[in-house]
Structure 1
Amino acid sequence: MKLREELPVDHHLATVYRYGAAFCGLVLLTFAGLGFADALSPFDTSGDTIAGMTTNVALSVISAVVGCALLVGAVIGGNFASALNMTIGGLFVLSGFAHTFVLDRPANILDFGMTNVIFSYVMGLLIATFGMYGRVSSRLPHDNPYWRRRHAGRTAGETKAPALPGAEPRALARGEGRGPRDGRGALR
């Protein structure tokens, strides 16, 4: 089974994946553009502050590449955008963890500060949430393609309790059923 077969092209979830990727990509491109505008040195660990976060050219390049990737995902849309959002969101969260440990150390070549780490966590969770929307939940509606994929043998009508053979649905609700009865009208 291919990923494209799992979600119809015109499904409303594809719009969420598309707009989420586009929004986050534009935020990252804006941050990268502001970093390039200051003409910073590539690995300067005492770089300038832009939008409350420290940056250098290397971080601006990475932000531009990831922002462009998200915009490409927004153009393609569908399951590709969803998978891309979840992957990039996870990488942002991992980056936040990794940079938490290299703050104020020589290994901090991207000049991350605490605000960068918090931004990485928040942006990662936001991007991942856009990717997981409608895919990961315990209460997906039965017309959701991901619910149908997980419950391939069941349909929306089959999720109800199966009726006993020969029993009326209302009679079952009252605890009654058809069958042999004794002299007082109770089931034997």
Structure 2
Amino acid sequence: MDFRDELPVDHRLALVYRVGAGLCGVALLLFGCLGLADGLAFFSTTGEHVAGLSSNGLLSLISVATAVVGAVVGGNTASTINIVVGGLFVLSGFVNLALLDSGANVLAFRIPNVLFSFVMGLIIATFGMYGRVSAKLPLDNPYWRHRHPASVPPGTARALAPTPTRTGIPGPTL
């Protein structure tokens, strides 16, 4: 799917994706800035406590970078970005859980960090999937219309880009 063609630029779902990424980005930005302001050692495997979590300079920098990228990239692609970043947070939780108390724990994770990574990942991914993944999407939902082009009732929404058919010839614009 090409999301630039699928959703109108001002579709209301884009606001949900942007707000979700923004809220999570603010939390990450605050955590990262607090860590950087404390002047933490960059590659310390023990870390220092920042806002109830263990951190080092590298984790603080990654948190700030993730927040900034989430704020800069928005619009209709924010849904996909939220799903990917949420999955990466959950994956990071599993990887860092395996690396606890080892010399390879370069992000200075502790159990609260792992739990935070799981929870933040699920929240971010949920914001990304909102209005996109469900068995009962409304008929005016652009994702439902993209999956069921022949079933779209007339006059349900604004026009979308042509949908290619099996023959490769573009189908009618909805």
Other structure's SS at 1:10 match? coil
Q: Give the C-alpha shift of residue 77 in structure 1.
A: 1.6
Deviations along 1:68-94, one digit per CA (max 9) or x if unpaired, are: 111112xx322x111111111110010
Q: Which amino acid aligns with 2:140?
A: D
User: Aligned-pair distance for 1:119?
Assistant: 0.4
Q: Is 1:94–2:94 an aligned residue pair?
A: no
> For residue 185 of structure 1, what is the aligned residue in structure 2?
none
The aligned residue for residue 85 of structure 1 is 82
Q: Does 1:105 align with 2:102?
A: yes
Q: CA deviation at 1:9?
A: 1.3
Alignment of 1:36-115 (within 5 A): 36-73=36-73, 76-78=74-76, 80-115=77-112
Aligned to 1:134: 131
Q: Give the aligned partner of residue 170 of structure 1.
A: none
1:33 alignment counterpart: 33
The correspondence of residues 135-154 of structure 1 with structure 2, limited to 5 A, is 135-154=132-151
Which TM-score applies when normalising by structure 1?
Answer: 0.79
Q: What is residue 22 of structure 1 aligned with on the other side?
A: 22
Q: What displacement does 1:112 show?
A: 0.1
Cα offset for 1:48?
1.1
Q: Is 1:120 aligned with 2:102? A: no
Q: Count residues in correspondence.
A: 154
**What is the CA-CA distance between 1:152 and the residue it aligns to?**
1.3
Give the aligned CA root-mean-square deviation in angstroms.
1.2
Q: In 2, are the aligned partners of 1:41 and 1:56 still within 8 Å (CA)?
A: yes
- 1:63 Cα shift? 0.6
Opposite residue 77 of structure 1, the aligned amino acid is G
Distance 1:146 1:156 in 2: 14
Consecutive unaligned residues in structure 1, runs of 5 or more: 158-188
1:109-156 Cα deviation digits (max 9, x unpaired): 110000000000011111111111100000100110000011111124
Separation of aligned partners in 1, 2:89 and 2:20? 15
Q: Is the 8 A contact 1:89 1:128 kept in 2?
A: yes
Rg larger for:
1
Cα separation, 1, equivalents of 2:46 and 2:96: 16
The TM-score, its normalising length taken from structure 2, stands at 0.85
Alignment-mate amino acid for residue 130 of structure 1: F
Q: Which runs of 5+ in 2 are unaligned?
A: 155-174
Distance 1:77 1:155 in 2: 24
Identity %: 55
> 2:103 and 2:47 mapped to 1: Cα distance?
14
Distance 2:4 2:72 in 1: 16
The Cα offsets for residues 137-188 of structure 1, whole Å up to 9 and x where unpaired, read as 001001100000111111247xxxxxxxxxxxxxxxxxxxxxxxxxxxxxxx
